[in-house]
Amino acid sequence: MIQLYHVSKSYSNYQALTDISLRVEKGEFLYITGPSGAGKTTLLNIVFCGVKADQGQIIVNGKNILKLKDSDIPYYRREIGVVFQDFKLLPKKTVAENIAFAQRVIGVGNKEIKKRVWMLLKMVGLSHKKDTFPLRLSGGEQQRVAIARALINEPQIILADEPTGNLDYDISMEIMKLFEDSNTKGATIIVATHNREILKNFPHRIVKLNQGRVVTE
């Protein structure tokens, strides 16, 4: 499903990733852990084509994504749901409109969009905030909107960067159950986290990074 071969990435004088080789099977649930600055976010961004690796190969669903044309990247991303650490919500769209946006991009009809949005709003506990704009939400509420948006298209791959970072314990457990449910339905999940409660309550394979290198599995 996802294969990285000797992948490296640097920013100016900062080496973010060094010689990363990693294989994630179809339908697997994988945690990427490590201290701040270990390279977790960069690794997810490379798989998402948010940034481009300097060296190596990355094969996703049989495609070498480092060879994708810029015009092909939006179509590749349709297979991926992403929860960004900084949310990336559209400030002039309501909660419901932010969640619906991912479906409108791929041409889903209005009736189906309304049905899916309402279902996701209930799942993340935000049905009462559907007409609220992001800047009027708490950090935890914005996080839940981002998670709902990532899940709405039932993507093959879900990448989540510290998805419970702004959430309390109970909400964190509920959010992880959503990821578990998606994984049960066949989605491949990669979660970057340092939350030990998540690792304990939802055990899966763990890859640990430190200073841009894989140090243990």
The DSSP string of 117-142 is HHHHHHHTT-GGGTT--GGGS-HHHH
Residue in 148, 1, 44 with CA at minimum distance from that of residue 87: 148
Summarised one tens digit per residue, pLDDT across range 69-128 is 999 998 899 889 999 888 889 999 999 999 999 888 888 899 999 999 999 999 888 999
* Whether the predicted pLDDT of 165 surpasses 90: no
Number of helices (H) and strands (E), helices first, in the chain?
A: 7, 10
Per-residue confidence (pLDDT) for residue 100, from 0 to 100: 94
Per-residue confidence (pLDDT) for residue 168, from 0 to 100: 84
| 27-53+70-216: CATH, from 3.40.50.740, 3.40.50.300, 3.30.230.70, 3.40.50.1580 | 3.40.50.300
* Whether the predicted pLDDT of 133 surpasses 90: yes
Domain boundaries, the chain: 27-53+70-216
Q: List residues bridging with 64 in a β-sheet.
A: 59
- Binned at pLDDT 50, 70 and 90, residue 25 comes out as very high
- Binned at pLDDT 50, 70 and 90, residue 134 comes out as very high
CB 16 within 8 A of CB 3: no
* Whether the predicted pLDDT of 166 surpasses 80: no
Q: Which helix (H) or strand (E) holds 215?
A: strand 213-216
pTM recorded for the entire structure: 0.90
- Alpha-helical segments (H) within 60-192: 73-77, 95-105, 110-123, 139-151, 169-184
